[in-house]
């Protein structure tokens, strides 16, 4: 059974984050991607526990078992939510691991709150440094792509999720070898019960510029990214990270899709443990 941490209110209802806290040792906080929940770390949790770490994971507001407000889907709020989790559990010497949009929480948290309680950070398939193509970010993704996402979600969220998850796992290439139909179905089930408002609003949040946050990071960083990531292309994200972070190791995972923490866990977990150790 999980527990809840209150992070605010919306009118007469409280906004509570669902979290799980397992094992003992140095804490590792796992921050999931969109539009899933913390169950998506299934392949990493046993490896971390076996290696002697305390594993904490939570469902982002609007997703999983957390409250589903219609407000707060921006990175200043997401980072404040993470800060409340860290303070409520009084964690120090922590490693933050952010997958996909979870990398945004890691960047903004360190940019705003610093590294007093955090000693290492991992960005996995993350949306950092800055996804949107602008005059000073030529390698970014055209804004029209995100508008199409938003239009498709507004029109038929559930159909959109099916297409999205096919590209999340590169099902056309990896089905049967690296991912089963059941895993994709399970991900769709998790995504389908997320807040419709939160699912939509998060797309706008992905366009946050994290470059200044990253420049302030003064702890060791591991970046793991799939070479065949169709959701967050490595050229627009992972490969740019060492330009902004002093102590940064980039691991490019051959043939890996966006959802590489499931499909390529046998490759990723040793990299993660090696970095933590």
pLDDT tens for the 277 residues of the chain, in order: 569 999 999 999 999 999 999 999 999 999 999 999 999 999 999 999 999 999 999 999 999 999 999 999 999 999 999 999 999 999 999 999 999 999 999 999 999 999 999 999 999 999 999 999 999 999 899 999 999 999 999 999 999 999 999 999 999 999 999 999 999 999 999 999 999 999 999 999 999 999 999 999 999 999 999 999 999 999 999 999 999 999 999 999 999 999 999 999 999 999 999 999 9
Q: Is 225 a catalytic residue?
A: no
Structure tokens at 186: 């399970």
Structure tokens at 88: 């409520």
Catalytic position from the list 100, 187, 237, 265: 100
Structure tokens at 10: 């919306």
Catalytic position from the list 201, 258, 264, 265: 258
pLDDT of residue 139: 87
Domain 3-276 fold is Rossmann fold (3.40.50)
User: Whole-angstrom Cα distance, residue 270 to residue 265?
Assistant: 8
pLDDT of residue 219: 98
Contact between residue 82 and residue 109 where contact means Cβ atoms under 8 Å apart: yes
Q: Is 264 a catalytic residue?
A: no
Structure tokens at 198: 């939160």
pLDDT of residue 173: 98
Q: Give the CA count within 13 Å in the CB-facing half-sphere of 148.
A: 7
Contact between residue 122 and residue 95 where contact means Cβ atoms under 8 Å apart: yes
User: Whole-angstrom Cα distance, residue 115 to residue 147?
Assistant: 35
pLDDT of residue 1: 52
User: Whole-angstrom Cα distance, residue 263 to residue 133?
Assistant: 29
Domain ranges of the chain: 3-276
- Cα four-point dihedral sign 273, 20, 169, 50: positive
Catalytic position from the list 81, 229, 237, 265: 229
- Which strands make up the sheet holding 248-253, listed edge to edge? 3-10, 13-22, 54-58, 27-31, 94-99, 118-124, 221-226, 248-253
pLDDT of residue 248: 98
Q: Is 16 a catalytic residue?
A: no
């Amino acid at each position: 059974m999980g527990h809840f941490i209150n992070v605010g209110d919306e009118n007469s209802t409280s906004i509570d984050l669902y979290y799980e806290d397992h094992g003992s040792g140095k804490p590792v906080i796992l921050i999931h991607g969109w539009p899933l929940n913390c169950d998506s770390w299934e392949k990493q949790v046993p490896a971390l526990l076996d290696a002697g770490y305390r594993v904490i994971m939570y469902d982002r507001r609007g997703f999983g078992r957390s409250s589903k407000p219609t407000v707060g889907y921006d990175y200043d709020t997401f980072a404040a939510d993470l800060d409340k989790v860290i303070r409520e559990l009084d964690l120090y010497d922590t490693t933050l691991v952010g997958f996909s949009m979870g990398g945004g929480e890691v960047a903004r948290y360190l940019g705003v709150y610093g590294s007093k309680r955090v000693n290492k950070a991992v960005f996995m398939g993350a949306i950092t440094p800055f996804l949107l193509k602008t005059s000073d970010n030529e390698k970014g993704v055209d804004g029209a792509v995100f508008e199409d996402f938003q239009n498709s979600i507004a029109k038929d969220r559930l159909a959109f999720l099916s297409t999205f998850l096919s590209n999340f796992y590169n099902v056309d290439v990896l089905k049967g070898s690296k991912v089963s139909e059941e895993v994709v179905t399970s991900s769709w089930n998790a995504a389908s019960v997320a807040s419709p408002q939160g699912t939509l609003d998060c797309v706008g949040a992905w366009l946050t510029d994290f470059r200044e946050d990253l420049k302030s990071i003064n702890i060791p960083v591991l970046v793991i990214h799939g070479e065949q990531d169709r959701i967050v292309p490595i050229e627009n994200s992972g490969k740019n990270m060492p330009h902004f972070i002093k102590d940064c190791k980039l691991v490019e995972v051959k043939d890996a899709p966006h959802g590489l923490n499931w499909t390529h866990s046998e490759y990723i977990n040793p990299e993660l443990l090696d970095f933590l150790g």
